Structure 1
Amino acid sequence: MRAVGRGEVHVAMTTPTAFAVAALEGRGGYADESFPDLRALGVVPQRDRLVVAVHQDLGIHTFAELRESKPALRLATSVNDGVNHVGLAAHEVLTRSGVDITGWGGELLEDERPFESLDHVREGRANAIVHEAVMLPPWQELGRFMNFLEVEQDVLDGLYEDFAWPAAVVDDDYFPGCRAFRTLDFSDFLVLTRADLADDLAYAIAWVLGETRHVIEGQYRHLAPERSPVTYPLDPVTMGETPVPLHPGAARYYNALPAS
């Protein structure tokens, strides 16, 4: 979002879509550098969540128990560098939940993507994780040995009030034997540009997203939609429903579509 907003690139993709609102309005980490000229070209749906999990050996099932126990966790997550949304969200969730990893004598294992973080847990270097991409197969393997912590309602309310970050539910048995719980929504990819992109180019990108969607879908048809990095079937009408204003050129494409 910063690269687009600063004009360093013309188009970029970001996830989750809801986080773009803070950049548009100058909230949170964007309070000193807002980007009111951000415009959307479309959404590629991905049903995802940010989850907090600790190893079952710790005997911890809630954030209240975590605060009481204050274990020296070795926690895997993404780097909190002001750019990586996972690292940013993990920091906010843990801090607002009263969790102090290093203050309790623990260690943060920070990487860019979920694959390294999941490997830290799988190979025993970490006994806790905060991450997204919950549809990836390694989560099903690790989920058998982890307790997933529901984010407390006051924390979720504060994140929505301050940053417009929405909450969502992880359904029963999405992870093996795990009951439904609430956490931070981390859904959807947003294709972004600025208001000064040429209208015909914005229209063309939106057209490609909507009219060649079968090319994207074809890469994921071997997976169930709820276990796929892209939630198919793609619907061009809903792909045009974005949390930041559509670029006028993109809006021209989506507004001409018949209702689904």
Structure 2
Amino acid sequence: MRPPAPVLNRSVRLNLQGDWGTANLHRICGWIAQELTDRCGPHTRVGIWTGRGGADAARAVDRGQVHIALTTPAAFAAAAVNGRGPFAAEPAPGLRALGTLPQRDRLVVGIRRSLGITSFAELRAARPRLRLATAPHDGTNLIGWAAHEILVRSDVDVTGWGGRILADERPRQTFDRIISGQADAIVHEAYMLPHWQKFGGDLAFLPIERPVLDGLAADYSWPAATVQEGHFPGCPRFETLDFSDFLVLTRSDLPDDLAHLIAWILGETRETIERQYRHIPAHQSPLTYPLDPAAMGRTPIPLHPGAARYHRSLGAA
């Protein structure tokens, strides 16, 4: 038995923030907006703002610029609540989660096989002049933050060794640098996308060293994960940084009934969003379906009480 559908008799005005406009976070915002409008008063209006899906999401919610924003990876939101890393100057202890949407992802470090480097120890010994493609380390892009932390903690100094860091905002821009030969190394995520199959066989993927992973877990609560053998052409199993899941953020002062309704929408209208991805095999999909409502309630920061009420109802359903 499914939890009963909540309805708000009043009309609401709500602002959501997604991504640049055409990727997964914006698509999820559209799903929430449609289902919410169907279940609120007749004058309900929902606006969707563009964003970057990184630290800007937590900041926009915390500052009251939007009511809800999506960010990825989910685990990084704990740093916003606790005021760590780029959030140190502006902690956001009032952030709450409405739910997690699964995206099985990893951040990986790859180097052209022709360089003959298969580990960070070999990389430090060789000190090559790399052209490394990644995301900008600007305090907002979470890929760039993670890449910077990994490289620094691994004693890799790309520019100090005479190389260049080629920073781009969106993953496909970075992938194009590898495909075109502009770059000979990459630190990035979205490892399920087909672009990796085009160039993954030309790369050696470096396992992130255990002290680095342990330090990231201790300092920022970032989890480690494995990439299974054969995920990239000819690549063995290796350990790296988990970069999974989309997190739906709000503030603790969002009305309880509205938070409950949105959590219900995420869990009970999941077919609406799932069918937009079913043409892609689940293990290659940027949204890992089928969605599990119970798993969506397991979040790295506290659930909003209204969302928690929905998830408690699942146990009684």
1:258 positional shift? 3.5
1:29 Cα deviation after fit? 2.1
Q: Which has the higher Rg, Structure 1 or Structure 2? A: 2
Q: Which residue of 1 aligns with 2:231?
A: 174
Is the Cα contact below 8 Å between 2:130 and 2:158 reproduced in 1?
yes
- Aligned residue among 65, 73, 85 for 1:28: 85
Structure-1 residue corresponding to 2:218: 161
Structure 1 counterpart of 2:290, one-letter code: P
**Mapped partners of 1:173, 1:5: distance in 2:** 41
Once the two structures are superposed, residues 193-221 of structure 1 have per-residue CA deviations (whole angstroms, 9 ceiling, x without a partner) of: 00011111111111111111011111111
Which runs of at least 4 in structure 1 moved beyond 4 Å after TM superposition? none
Partner of residue 208, structure 2: 151
CA distance in 2, matches of 1:222, 1:176: 23
- What SS does the aligned partner of 2:96 have? strand
Matching residue within 159, 163, 181 for 1:102: 159
Residue 185, structure 1, aligned to residue 242, structure 2: yes
1:11-31 deviation digits (Å, cap 9, x = unpaired)? 000011110111111122222
Does structure 2 conserve the Cα–Cα contact (< 8 Å) formed by 1:237 and 1:259? Answer: no
Residue 90 in 1 paired to residue 90 in 2?
Answer: no
Q: What is the CA-CA distance between 1:2 and the residue it aligns to?
A: 1.3
Q: Distance in 2 between matches of 1:231 and 1:258?
A: 23
Note the alpha carbon deviations across 1:79-120, whole angstroms, 9 max, x for none: 111111000000000111011111111111111111000000
- In the alignment, structure 1 residue 9 sits paired with structure 2 residue 66: yes
Q: TM-score, normalised by structure 1?
A: 0.98
Matches for 1:103-122 after TM superposition, within 5 Å: 103-122=160-179
Partner of 2:123: 66
- Structure 2: distance between partners of 1:169 and 1:139: 16
Q: Name the SS of the counterpart of 1:223 in structure 2.
A: coil
Q: Hey, what does 1:209 align to over in structure 2? A: 266
Question: Aligned residues, how many?
Answer: 260
Q: Which residue of 2 aligns with 1:138?
A: 195
- Cα deviation per residue 1:170-200 (whole Å; 9 max; x = unaligned)? 0111111111100000000000000011111
Give the letter for the 1:42 counterpart.
G
> Matched residue of 2:240: which SS?
strand
Matched, 1:200 2:254: no
Any conservation in 2 of the 1:4–1:11 contact (CA below 8 Å)?
Answer: yes
SS of 1:75's partner is strand
Higher relative contact order (CA 8 A, sep 6+): 1
Deviation string, structure 1 residues 123-152 (Cα, Å, up to 9, x no partner):
010000000000000101111100000000
Bigger Cα displacement from structure 2, 38-47 vs 222-231: 222-231
What is the one-letter code of the residue matched to 2:112?
A: H
Please give the alpha-carbon distance, in whole angstroms, between the structure 1 residues aligned to 2:271 and 2:148: 37
Gaps of at least 5 residues in structure 2 are: 1-57
Q: How far apart, in 2, do the equivalents of 1:64 and 1:203 lie?
A: 50
